Amino acid sequence: DGTETTAAHGQKIHYHRIGTNQSQDQLVYENIEEPEWMFGVSCSQDGRYLFLEVQKGCERTNMLYCAQLGEDKSIPQEKISWKAIVDEFKWQYSPIWNVGNICYLQTDENASNQKVIKVDLDQKSFPRDKPLGIDHISEHEDNVLSDVAVCDMKYFITNYMVDCKDKVRVFDIESGNFSHDIEFPDMGSIGWSCRKYMSDIYFKLTGWVNPGAVYKYNIHNEKMETIHQTIVSGFDASKYKTNQVFYPSKDGTKIPMFIISKKDIEMNSDNPTVLYAYGGFNIPITPYFSAYKTVWSGDLNGVLAIANIRGGGEYGKKWYDGGKLMNKMNCFDDFNAGAEYLIDNKYTSSKKLAIEGGSNGGTLVAACFNQRPELYRAVLCHVPVIDMYRFHKYTIGHAWKSDYGDPEEKIEDFEYNKQYSPLHNVKLQDDKSVPGMMILTADHDDRVVPHHSLKFAAEVQKVHGKTSENPLLLRVDIKAGHGGGKPTAMVIEEQVDKYGFLALMMGLEL
């Protein structure tokens, strides 16, 4: 019912034929020898091939298999015969498109920023000691290829991340040659809806202060028209500005950070500020709009800063690798350096600076609460992973070994996690103040089980409860999970509590 904590094992894939009973569903794939592996199946756009992707945890690598379907393009009722295209966990491969037996794959094989290759599916075997296929769209030197789609049966529509912002480029499918860029009137995150047989593409662009605009673009005449601009009642985007800065981390690495505020902000070291980051699992944080965040920047005259620290996917595999496993401490250094930048440049001071993060980002802010308490006034710690010795024992936690290592089997991982595990590093520090903290979790969170938060709250209370001058709070939602899918009323209640806590800590009037 969502309150289980036992490890999730033994995934299977079944095929359901419409009109039949679920008990008749056909087993397509399982691997009883590897209970922690996860699988996904997709069909080629022409219905000729079935692809099986096998993944080990959250590692951005996968094995890839294919099966040729019959003339009627149906799933065979007998056992499916899978042919291995890639049978080792080394790179990531995702099928995009095929023309007959020639399949185009998006991959990071020898390409940290991703590229497109083409492979002949009819060959009897696939090489392991040399590149899988032929480069079709080469890796970009600086920008990460994040998505590929097909339009008008002739063009690859590609999305590249350029300094944490999306850029759409068009390539010819047959030759792989660059055709043109698609320009937009604003910067931000770009999603699309397009069909392989249509020449029109619908784009949606959102930004930190742009609730979303929908555009219609024709691939032939290259004309763009605005279909819809979302309007949020009471919000005037013209009153706000977004800056992107690049600041040095502890080791000198330049870290990008977005800073959103009103245009008339005074650089007086007295602006209430929230610093947010995620920094894990190759997940990039690109611009998005939140009506709740306009309360902070608008009604409370606050500054919102989003740091694109290492561990995310903003600059490809190298950026991700720089913030995981034995490099995890870089995440905390990057984040704390972002706080120092905001203070040094007079956006705010430690008395007006809060930090916020959720899930892996909750680990981040909890660790920074322990490591640099003097930097911060308040901490919002959402559904955090806290016990870095035992995280793998509960629900899907074993999948996170990709980023946190295997502290049970590898002594070096245990010793490294020992340095930052939030649960095991809550200590009294006589010369440093303790910021106020609100830990937020939910009783039905089956992603990051709530006892991470409960144990952390107990330890913080035990160590700091008698001496802290600031509130140390635990907030538990009932009949809710990891964050997604909450009813609007519950979301509003959480936002009210969150901003009420920040106002209390910073002396703001609501």
Q: Is 220 left (phi over 0), alpha (psi -120 to 50) or beta?
A: alpha
Q: Which residues are catalytic?
A: 359, 445, 482
CA 463 centroid distance within chain:
33
Q: Is 318 left (phi over 0), alpha (psi -120 to 50) or beta?
A: alpha
Q: Please classify residue 102 by burial: count the beta carbons closer than 10 Å to its beta carbon, then call 0-12 exposed, 13-18 middle and 19+ buried.
A: middle
Q: Please classify residue 122 by burial: count the beta carbons closer than 10 Å to its beta carbon, then call 0-12 exposed, 13-18 middle and 19+ buried.
A: exposed
Q: Contact, 22 vs 10, CB < 8 A?
A: no
User: Phi and psi dihedrals of 496, rounded to 5?
Assistant: -60, -45
Task: State the Cα–Cα distance between residues 296 and 319, nearest whole angstrom.
Answer: 30
CB atoms near residue 349 (< 10 Å): 16
Residues forming beta bridges with residue 170, ordered by sequence position: 157, 180
- 241 token code pair: 């500005």
Residues forming beta bridges with residue 120, ordered by sequence position: 102
Tracing tokens 């409960």 back to the chain, one arrives at 454
Task: State the Cα–Cα distance between residues 201 and 321, nearest whole angstrom.
Answer: 34
Q: Contact, 4 vs 481, CB < 8 A?
A: no
User: Phi and psi dihedrals of 498, rounded to 5?
Assistant: -65, -50
SS3 320: helix
Q: Please classify residue 368 by burial: count the beta carbons closer than 10 Å to its beta carbon, then call 0-12 exposed, 13-18 middle and 19+ buried.
A: buried
Q: Contact, 214 vs 226, CB < 8 A?
A: yes
Q: Contact, 97 vs 45, CB < 8 A?
A: yes
Task: State the Cα–Cα distance between residues 246 and 254, nearest whole angstrom.
Answer: 6
Q: CB under 8 Å to 430, separation ≥6 — which residues?
A: none
CA angle (279, 280, 282) in 5-degree steps: 110
Identify the H or E element spanning 498. Answer: helix 488-506
Task: Count the residues in the chain.
Answer: 510
CB atoms near residue 345 (< 10 Å): 13
Residue 454: which of 383, 397, 364 has the closest Cα? Answer: 383
